[in-house]
Amino acid sequence: MNIAIVGAGYVGLVTGVCLADIGHHVTCVDIDRDKIAKLKKAIIPIYEPGLEDLIKKNIKKKRLNFSTSIKEASKDATAIFIAVGTPSKKNGDADLTYVENVAREIALTMDSYKLVIEKSTVPAETGKKVERTIRLNLPAKLKKSKEPVFDVASNPEFLREGSAISDFMNPDRVVIGVESKKAEKILREIYKPLKPKMVVTNINSAELIKHASNSFLATKISFANALSQICDKVGADVLKVAEGMGYDKRIGRAFLNAGVGYGGSCFPKDVDAFVRLSEKSGYDFRLLREVRNINEEQKSSFLHLIEDKLWIVKNKTIGVLGLAFKPDTDDMRSAPSIDIIKALQAEGAKIKAYDPEATENAKRIFKSVTYCKNPYEAVKGCDAVLLLTEWEEFKKLDFKKMKTAMRQPILFDGRNLYHDYHLEQFGFEYYGIGRGDL
Ligand code: UDX
């Protein structure tokens, strides 16, 4: 099938490339000329394992194109995915300006039937607004048509950064929100090669599934983080508590890892948007407001731990291992490292940092951080080290070498990565999250 994807950001790009790989002819559109010129040469703007190879393969097979024109990309397309950004406004609402602009442009350039699919995470009822925008802006000749000339559908994404390609190729489920048989048929055909479990519903429910899924996962994390606070106080081990809970199939072990809090481009934004959406619909989603508060408190409590154990923060040198909001990505959006580093700097600490991929993005966020080429350089001469992102590389460090390089061997493990490493035997003073048992 010929498919256009509008918005070559994270979601659009991964979706477009993967759809090409399962056999469709895809054109990805973006207004950023520089980005499109680079994509044509398979130079990708983000770090996502496997994506570059897949782009090269599908450009070669002539199934993947890039363009700056919606008109050109949608000309022969049956389906057009809208995958543009929906940033948060100051009040927590999702800003849908880009979605509206794209919907209008799709309408203005429409010459035959199109299925317009929302892929961006949008509040419930956006589908209706997209439908109305398209209807109002259709060319005169299409307005007169007796047959429907377009349908709108919702097809939320559930891709995790760092494993987006395998998430796309092996989905737990594909959710489609449709209002016509034709739209359902087209979407089923698009995903047929993956043989996925399909959840077919109306547009509003599909939009809500996305919000509810991400908010529920964020709730699980905040639950684990709240537990970690109690574990610290009563001498329990949050990892064992999570393990003991997780064997219950109704609960499951995933997303019960306590740490310095969730970040990224989705959870903070989606929880905010869901709280706002509920508020506007007349329901105060108190549970989610607390999920958000607990996430913020988790960073403050980590800072208190550092202040307590380091005694004086001013003029101390602190090494940071990991800046990205999670491993296998260069994404710094809402990374817990941002608040933690800025707070320590405000107290007069000097920060040295190492991240395998996120350094360039971090440079746009922090002032006066010394970026290092490897973990050992980052901890050299430090009074303490913070582990903030659990990159694979950090699992295999030479702790003897680290201890020798540091001025003071104190390690704050914000992800419980070293929970069973017994770092005390290397001479470290070790602090994890929710490890009241230590
Ligand atoms: C998320 C969803 O998982 C995905 O389905 C969605 O559509 C996009 O948003 P992503 O933001 O890439 O994906 O990351 P994810 O792996 O879900 O982690 C989000 C954050 O939660 C990270 O900061 C991570 O470190 C944190 N996290 C995750 C925890 O603190 N504890 C956990 O147990 C799991």
pLDDT at residue 31 greater than cutoff 90: yes
- The residues, ordered by sequence, that sit 6+ positions from 364 with a Cβ below 8 Å of its Cβ are 332
The pLDDT score that the predictor gives to residue 61 is 96
The residue annotated as part of the active site, out of 28, 231, 266, 372, is 266
Predicted confidence (pLDDT) per residue in 339-394, tens digit: 999 999 999 999 999 999 999 999 999 999 999 999 999 999 999 999 999 999 99
Instruction: Report which ligand 1 atom has the smallest distance to the Cα of 162.
Output: 12
Residue nearest (by alpha carbon) to ligand 1 atom 10: 160
Same fold, 2-201 and 205-438: yes
| 214 CA → ligand 1 middle, Å | 8
* Residue nearest ligand 1's atom 13 by CA: 160
Q: Is-catalytic flag, 266?
A: yes
For residue 182, count other CB atoms closer than 10 A to its CB: 15
Rounded distance from Cα 438 to ligand 1 centre (Å): 27
Q: Helix (H, G, I), strand (E, B), or coil: what is residue 78?
A: coil
Residue 367 token pair: 């002032």
63 alpha carbon, distance to own chain's centre: 27
* DSSP per-residue string spanning 195-256: ---EEEE-HHHHHHHHHHHHHHHHHHHHHHHHHHHHHHHHT-BHHHHHHHHHTSTTT-STT-
Q: What is the pLDDT of residue 87?
A: 85
Whole-number mean pLDDT of the chain? 95
Q: What is the pLDDT of residue 305?
A: 96
Output the residue whose Cα is nearest ligand 1's atom 26. 262
Strand ranges in 44-105 using DSSP code E only, listed in sequence order: 64-67, 79-82
Instruction: Give the confidence band of 416 by pLDDT, cuts at 50, 70, 90.
Output: very high
**Per-domain residue ranges of the chain:** 2-201, 205-438
Separation of 290 CA from ligand 1 center, angstroms? 18
Coil/strand/helix, residue 226: helix
Would you state the structure tokens that stand for residue 168, as one six-digit string?
A: 């796309």
CA–centroid distance, 402 to ligand 1, in Å, is 29
Burial class of residue 428 (count of CB atoms within 10 Å of its CB; 0-12, 13-18, 19+): buried
Express each pLDDT in 269-310 by its tens digit: 899 989 999 999 999 999 999 999 999 999 999 999 999 999
CA distance 32 to 391: 31
The whole-number pLDDT of residue 216 equals: 98
Residues with CB under 6 A from ligand 1: 157-161, 214, 217, 221, 255-257, 259, 262-264, 266-267, 325-326
Number of H helices, E strands in the chain: 17, 14
205-438 CATH pick, 3.30.70.2390, 3.40.50.720, 3.30.70.1560, 1.10.3720.10: 3.40.50.720
The confidence score (pLDDT) of residue 413 equals 98
Separation between Cα atoms, residue 426 and residue 412, nearest integer Å: 15
User: Rounded to an integer, what distance in angstroms lies between the CA atom of residue 331 and that of residue 321?
Assistant: 15
Fold of 2-201: Rossmann fold (3.40.50)
Query: pLDDT at position 401, please?
Result: 96
Q: What is the pLDDT of residues 51-91, one digit of tens each?
A: 999 999 999 999 999 999 999 999 999 999 999 988 888 88
Cα 292 to middle of ligand 1, angstroms = 14
* CA-to-CA separations, 79 to 24, 58, 115, 182, 205, in angstroms, rounded: 11, 19, 5, 11, 21
Contact status, residue 95 vs residue 273, Cβ threshold 8 Å = no
What residues pair up with 432 in beta bridges, in sequence order?
none
What average pLDDT does range 137-159 have in this prediction? 92
pLDDT in tens, 214-272: 999 999 999 999 999 999 999 999 999 999 999 999 999 999 999 999 999 889 989 99
Using the atom order of ligand 1, give the atom closest to the CA of residue 265.
11
Structure tokens at 260: 């310095």
* Pocket residue to mutate for ligand 1, from 227, 243, 326, most atoms within 8 A of Cβ: 326
Q: Tell me which residue has its CA closest to atom 20 in ligand 1.
A: 262
Q: How far apart are CA 38 and CA 45, in angstroms?
A: 8
Residue whose CA lies nearest to ligand 1 atom number 17: 160
DSSP string, 179-197: SSHHHHHHHHHHHGGG---
